[in-house]
Amino acid sequence: MYKLLITSISAIGLIATTTFTHQQPLQAQLQKTPGGVTQPAAKRVTLTLKAEKKVVKMVDDKPKITYQPVTGKVQSRDILKYTVTAKNGDRPVKNLMLTQPIPKGTTYVKNSATILPGSQLLFSIDGGKTYTSRPMIGKNEAPTSTYTNLRWKFTQLMAAKAQVNAAYEVEVK
């Protein structure tokens, strides 16, 4: 059994004027375990990041929500949905963490992150230095506009050949 400490995909370069042409598969990074041994994470967990734009159309006086690939410039108030797919290789993975930044020029949409079985959803308001399930500023809950990162921390073993999909939405400022 292997330990994978942190797996991260970065979407920091996305701002309101970024153009998307296609999605690119991303590999897990090599990670150091507490004993100093580097685990070949890139050979075990493959990560893919997909960005889609939320489209709301009225059908029979009711809103119909769909998601379309982001192919051009995004505009203020657009809602973007990011989906991180983690596909495991031939061996189980323990302590998997999927970490995503909230892209600059966007704000996390409250309660939009997927709640995954066997994982804990955590947020950061300090650029990813610390994570908690309910960020606080003083005695008050932090507004989502202060969120800088989110993380799915898996408390259960990820089986060999398993796949998980974690999603969240942001609004372009």
> What are 99's two structure tokens?
């970490």
Which pLDDT score is estimated for 102?
A: 96
- Spatial contact of 154 and 118, defined as CB atoms under 8 Å apart: yes
Long-range contacts of 33-41 (CB under 8 A, 24+ apart): 33/3, 33/5, 39/2, 39/3, 39/4, 41/4, 41/7
Which pLDDT score is estimated for 34?
A: 43
144 phi and psi angles, rounded to 5 deg: -60, -20
Which pLDDT score is estimated for 163?
A: 95
d(CA 74, CA 66): 16
Q: In terms of Cα–Cα distance, which of 168, 171, 166 is closest to 47?
A: 166
- Please report, in tens digits, the pLDDT of each residue of the chain (173 residues total): 433 333 444 433 332 223 332 333 333 333 333 444 444 554 589 999 999 999 999 999 999 999 999 988 899 999 999 999 999 999 999 889 999 999 999 999 999 999 999 999 999 999 999 999 999 999 999 999 999 999 999 999 999 999 999 999 999 99
> What are 19's two structure tokens?
């153009």
- Spatial contact of 86 and 46, defined as CB atoms under 8 Å apart: yes
Tallying the residues shown for the chain, one arrives at 173
DSSP-derived 3-state class of residue 126:
coil
C-alpha radius of gyration, the chain, whole number: 17
- Spatial contact of 172 and 113, defined as CB atoms under 8 Å apart: no
Reported pTM: 0.75
